[in-house]
């Protein structure tokens, strides 16, 4: 997909090396089409890495996408230069009167805190409620999936005895949905988290549809309002080295951490990484953009707030 993002965003040069077409604003303006508008609320500490991960996946479609990067207003990022945030990011106040075709809300390293203990919880809840009326379809990733399920449906999260860390096999429930169209019978997804949501809690909520799960990693994809909210507990967007970098980081900090499951060749960090999730990650985001964003968005963006439930 031609991506309309700022030309001096650090991700641009890396993405061009990967043969991803990044469109400059002048060329985008010459195309007589309305680009899909996608907001990316980035709660991760390494924001530049996360930008690159998601932009890479948003590139896999023939339509034009315009991405707005969004940050929490009162949270200070310790791992991203303030100059980068000032140059490329908006706050919720900046976008609160706008409508978006799609939105992605990332995970955050706060999962061991109770939701109300997260310093930006009140602002985040406002964004959740705003997205339900201003966005055609929103993806909630990892901790954001847990937070969204708790906020909208009262689903609790539970601490794990040890970190869910590695690449795990998943299956699609039943016939699946348009989101998983083209998926194989088994597919792999990275996970990196200390908490979980449980299937038994989800099954008590008729408004929720469990689309995908794993025998090892548990609940994976949950849908609400026929795809206007999609909750994903894994990290399909992760670059190949992401789990390796997390593993080395925790080792260097002296934290209890095991080698990520099903990740290294012969389970040996010295032998390199086996990437098993990349193709399905691209397919997941391509299906989301096509079936839940592009084909579902009304011609007039202002009509998004009056949409009924999407059809699977």
> What residues act catalytically?
142, 235, 237
Q: Do 192 and 165 form a contact (C-beta atoms < 8 A)?
A: yes
Q: Which of 2, 8, 100, 95 is nearest to 55 (CA)?
A: 2
Judge residue 149's burial from the number of C-beta atoms within 10 Å of its C-beta, 0-12 exposed, 13-18 middle, 19 or more buried.
buried
User: What CA–CA distance (Å, rounded) separates 173 from 42?
Assistant: 29
- 186: closest CA among 173, 197, 196? 173
Which pair of structure tokens corresponds to residue 265? 């060749």
CA–CA dist 213, 234 (Å, integer): 10
Task: Work out the widest C-alpha separation in the chain, in whole angstroms.
Answer: 55
């Amino acid at each position: 997909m031609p991506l309309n993002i700022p030309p001096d965003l650090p991700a641009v040069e890396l993405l061009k090396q990967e043969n991803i077409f990044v469109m400059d604003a002048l060329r985008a303006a010459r195309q007589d089409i309305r680009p899909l508008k996608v907001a990316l609320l980035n709660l991760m500490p390494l924001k530049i890495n996360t930008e690159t991960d998601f932009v890479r996946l948003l590139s896999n479609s023939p339509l034009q996408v315009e991405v707005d990067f969004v940050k929490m207003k009162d949270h200070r990022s310790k791992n991203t230069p303030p100059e980068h945030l000032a140059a490329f990011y908006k706050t919720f106040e900046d976008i609160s009167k706008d409508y978006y075709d799609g939105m992605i809300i990332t995970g955050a390293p706060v999962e061991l805190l109770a939701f109300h203990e997260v310093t930006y919880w009140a602002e985040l809840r406002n964004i959740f409620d705003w997205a339900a009326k201003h966005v055609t379809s929103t993806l909630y990733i990892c901790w954001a999936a847990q937070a969204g399920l708790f906020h909208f449906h009262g689903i609790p999260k539970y601490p794990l005895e040890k970190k869910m860390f590695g690449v795990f096999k998943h299956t699609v429930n039943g016939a699946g949905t348009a989101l998983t169209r083209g998926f194989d019978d088994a597919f792999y997804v990275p996970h990196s988290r200390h908490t979980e949501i449980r299937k038994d809690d989800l099954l008590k909520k008729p408004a929720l549809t469990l689309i995908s799960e794993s025998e090892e990693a548990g609940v994976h994809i949950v849908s609400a309002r026929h795809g206007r909210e999609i909750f994903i507990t894994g990290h399909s967007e992760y670059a190949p080295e992401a789990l390796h970098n997390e593993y080395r980081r925790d080792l260097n900090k002296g934290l209890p951490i095991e080698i990520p499951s099903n990740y290294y060749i012969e389970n040996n960090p010295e032998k390199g990484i086996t990437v098993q999730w990349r193709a399905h990650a691209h397919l997941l985001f391509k299906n989301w953009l096509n079936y839940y964003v592009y084909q579902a968005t009304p011609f007039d963006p202002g009509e998004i707030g009056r949409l009924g439930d999407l059809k699977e």
